[in-house]
Structure 1
């Protein structure tokens, strides 16, 4: 929870940040609490395309999201249900995956170059930097396998 008083904001705007919340419902509930009546939640983030992955898919997803210090992505229908449970109305979801595909591919190509550069390009990097390279190396293959989407939610507090 935040220290903000309830009903303090007209808008809660979250871009690629809710994925970092360990409990997505906690975020949703807090957003609802701090919004004024009539306020809006707008968020753009990464979402899992299915509730359960097989072992190979799970490894690929873990290698990606853990490199960005994310525990797990929310499954889109469950996130939608969480918004409803909190009391949000007029919930709209737009799949914007095609808007990020090019960027994901370019990041993947960068990671291939870094990995090909071997020790010269990896020496002296921190564990976090290594995790970032691993993440961008796994993100695009996971996208190509249809394991995640990029979505935009808009919801209103009545």
Structure 2
């Protein structure tokens, strides 16, 4: 945060931008604060997607938009090498869910699904570069881990780039841009029937 704020001051942008470090499932922002929320490769880190959806609904203004770019598991495919789980554990991700599961979670919190765009092909070159960078980092990481007392996560983190690419090559995950809209008017609940 200190570095980010220093850069804002240096660029003379402090009057335009405000950085905050918060739990995005429970922020300090007032209700109906934002017209637009961007969530880029962040929601995969939370286990409770519904809680995220609830918070987005709360802090968006009516008619506000959530744009999300993230990884999603492709449904109904068998991962015989367990690449997704290995990637998840070395990249500190929550369980990777499908696009449909995520849409269902957001809709359960009254967000209206508006659009989905599969951009897997466009991100594949980056995924490949991450794979090669991880392969190049393997030997230096192993040497470093032998010489230093690093955490289990620290010792294995470099493997995430290998696992994600192997999973992508097998078609086990996709990268999507999603758009949700908060309705202009709150939904009116039907009275419960009795008798």
Tell me if both proteins adopt one fold, taking TM over 0.5 as the criterion: yes
2:44–2:71 Cα contact (<8 Å) kept: yes
| Distance in 1 (alpha carbons) for counterparts of 2:69 and 2:149 | 30
1:24–1:74 Cα contact (<8 Å) kept: no
Partner residue, 1:65: 88
1:93 aligns with 2:116: yes
Give the TM-score, by structure 2 length. 0.71
Aligned length: 156
Runs of at least 4 residues of structure 1 off by over 6 A? none
CA separation of 1:125/1:47 partners in 2, compared to 1, >3 Å: closer, same or farther? farther
Q: Secondary structure of the equivalent of 2:132?
A: helix
1:157 aligns with 2:182: yes
Partner residue, 2:61: 36
| Distance in 1 (alpha carbons) for counterparts of 2:113 and 2:103 | 11
Partner residue, 2:105: 82
Deviations 1:88-128 (A, max 9, x none): 22521111111211111111112222335674465448333
Q: Report the Cα offset of residue 19 of structure 1.
A: 0.3
Deviations 1:115-145 (A, max 9, x none): 3567446544833343321111101000011
1:114–1:121 Cα contact (<8 Å) kept: no
Please, what is the CA RMSD of the aligned residues?
Answer: 2.1
1:10 aligns with 2:35: yes
Structure 1, unpaired ranges of 5+: none
The structure with more strand, counted as a fraction of residues: 1
CA separation of 1:141/1:112 partners in 2, compared to 1, >3 Å: closer, same or farther? same
2:50–2:108 Cα contact (<8 Å) kept: no
Q: Secondary structure of the equivalent of 1:3?
A: coil
1:90–1:155 Cα contact (<8 Å) kept: yes
1:20–1:69 Cα contact (<8 Å) kept: yes
Deviations 1:42-66 (A, max 9, x none): 110111112x664635x21111011
Corresponding residue to 1:134 among 156, 159, 163: 159
1:27 aligns with 2:62: no
The structure with more helix, counted as a fraction of residues: 1
